[in-house]
Amino acid sequence: MNFESQIRDVPDFPQPGILFKDITPLLADGPTYRAAINELADFARQCGADVIVGPEARGYVVGAPLAYATGVGFVPVRKRGKLPWKTIGVEYALEYGTDRLEMHADAILPGQRVLLADDLLATGGTMGACAALVQQLGGVLAGAAFLIELSHLGGRAKLQGIEVKTLVQY
């Protein structure tokens, strides 16, 4: 399937000079969205994933249906202070400054095989932070799955040793 045909370029968003890759047309087209999730689900099964981890917000539109399609659980990763129970967290670098991601302290069991899922792999900062959270809880990183990869930004370097699957690369 030609997933790239369902990804819209939006120039100068969210700021001048950025060419934003908009996945909303892909999400709006049921057969294409389903095909994308099915292809990533095949990868998740090959990785032997026991659970899917996805960061808010667009990681949910990939991770949650991926968990459903494979019959495993979904663990949300959120910004600081957004989860209602005991959490663990990790600080990670942004272009200008730092941020913090958190997950529930009981979300991953030691030895569970975890697939990271998000819409986009760019610099790898968010996924690197998600991987650190999984490892803090003793999870095993089984792989990482994305709709899009911006290869020139080098995000795979933050996921060394993890098998990565992307549907579209730019």
- What burial letters (b/e) apply to 132-147, b meaning 16+ CB within 10 Å? bbbeebebebbbbbbb
Taking the C-alpha atoms of residue 26 and residue 7, their distance in angstroms, rounded to an integer, is 6
Q: Which residues contact 85 (CB under 8 A, 6 or more apart)?
A: 104, 105, 106
Residues carrying an active site annotation? 58, 95
Taking the C-alpha atoms of residue 115 and residue 97, their distance in angstroms, rounded to an integer, is 27
Candidates 78, 87, 89, 127; CA nearest to 107 is 87
